[in-house]
Structure 1
Amino acid sequence: MTDLLVALRPLDATELDAFVELVISSYAGERASAVDARPPDAQRNARSQVEALLPQGLGTPDHHLYSVLEGNAVVGHLWIGITSVDGFRSAFIYDIHLREDARGRGLGRRVMVLAEEAACGLGARDIELHVFAQNTRARRLYESLGYRITSLSMRKRLG
């Protein structure tokens, strides 16, 4: 892998609205496809979830939002939450997104390493994430980085 100049910096308040809208749109699109939901319903569900998770925006405790930089250019974002529900601090990657022109060049792998470093710095013992089954590219990346499946959701359409 080429030595990429990739870094994280805390998301700026001026970037928050665009970040939230991108997260909602991306999650809604993937969920609608995964569960065969109507796009407006998936959009409403995604908005509700994001607003519940970030009630205080950038000031929401235990939520860390970053811009992904390649050199000085913002090429994506990363959202990490910290929980202690299992008796230890664990990081959860709520969202990782790279612009289309930043994909396929090893940046995703580098951002995942940076996410792990950030999670360690936040005192996390583990890091986890959710990935939709149809996102085979992301699943292959996560598996190559040592992530293992801890649960599976299965669905069957009735009727």
Structure 2
Amino acid sequence: MVTLQKMNTDEFKQYLDTAVADFAKEKVSAGNWEEEDSLQRAKDEFSKLLPDGENSENNYLYTVLNEKNEGAGIIWLARQSPEKGFIYDIRIKDEHQGKGYGKETMKAIEEKAKQLGMNKIGLHLFGHNKIARGLYEKIGYKTTNVLMEKEIL
């Protein structure tokens, strides 16, 4: 069983440091950005999405606590429209993976979204993340768009 607790300032700073660097790497790996400016671009993206940090309007950042009240991960939900949310990030720490926390976190965020008046949640994942895709499909998420790209040299 997991509990979602609003992220505090220290947790947010730790999250942001890791998330920005990871996002930059993912964008480079996916072929979307060049490595030399990827970190700055990632910082800019996060600044636009979260202008007031963890207290940014229509953004809900949570620390995922396990049954021992340990920080097992994070999840970030944003309101895209009055009735639709979007999961910008979900992370379960390596040492807590394989214990069902990802699935439980998704169920918990769906409940939070309902409480906030949302009736639909979207998310994005990079094409190479097959483990996450399997989880999302298993719990009822459907593919709505597929972007494809080919490098022609």
Cα deviations by residue, 1:27-60 (Å, 9 ceiling, x for unpaired): 2222221227443433222211111000011221
Task: Give the whole-Å Cα distance in 2 for the aligned partners of 1:143 and 1:10.
Answer: 27
For residue 66 of structure 1, what is the amino acid of its counterpart? Y
Q: Distance in 2 between matches of 1:94 and 1:147?
A: 15
**2:97 maps to which residue?**
103
Residue of structure 2 in register with 1:93 after alignment: 87
Query: TM-score normalized by structure 2?
Result: 0.93
Q: Percent identity?
A: 33
Q: Residue 79 of structure 1 aligns to which amino acid in structure 2?
A: W
What SS is found at the alignment partner of 1:35?
coil
Matched with 2:126 is 132
Q: CA deviation at 1:121?
A: 1.1
Q: What secondary structure, in the 3-state scheme, does the structure 1 residue paired with 2:142 have?
A: coil
Q: Deviations over 1:54-86 (max 9, x none)?
A: 0011221100000011121111111000021xx
Matched letter for residue 47 of structure 1: K
Residue 143 in structure 1 maps to residue 134 in structure 2: no
Are 1:65 and 2:61 counterparts?
yes
Match of 1:53 among 49, 56, 59: 49
Match of 1:153 among 144, 147, 150: 147
Does 2:72 align with 1:75?
Answer: yes
Name the CA distance, whole Å, in 2 between partners of 1:47 and 1:130. 19
Q: Supply the distance in 1 between the matched residues of 2:83 and 2:19 (Cα, whole angstroms).
A: 24
Q: Which moved more, 1:39-48 or 1:127-136?
A: 39-48
TM-score (norm 1): 0.89
Counterpart for residue 29 of structure 1 = 25
Q: How many pairs are equivalent?
A: 152
Q: CA deviation at 1:132?
A: 0.4
CA root-mean-square deviation:
1.4
Return the offset for 1:154. 1.3
Question: What SS does the corresponding residue of 2:40 show, helix, strand or coil?
Answer: helix
Q: Which range moved further: 135-144 or 50-59?
A: 50-59
1:117 & 1:61 partners in 2: Cα distance?
19
Can you give the 5+ residue segments of structure 1 that lack an aligned partner in the other structure? none
> How far apart are the structure 1 equivalents of 2:6 and 2:91?
15
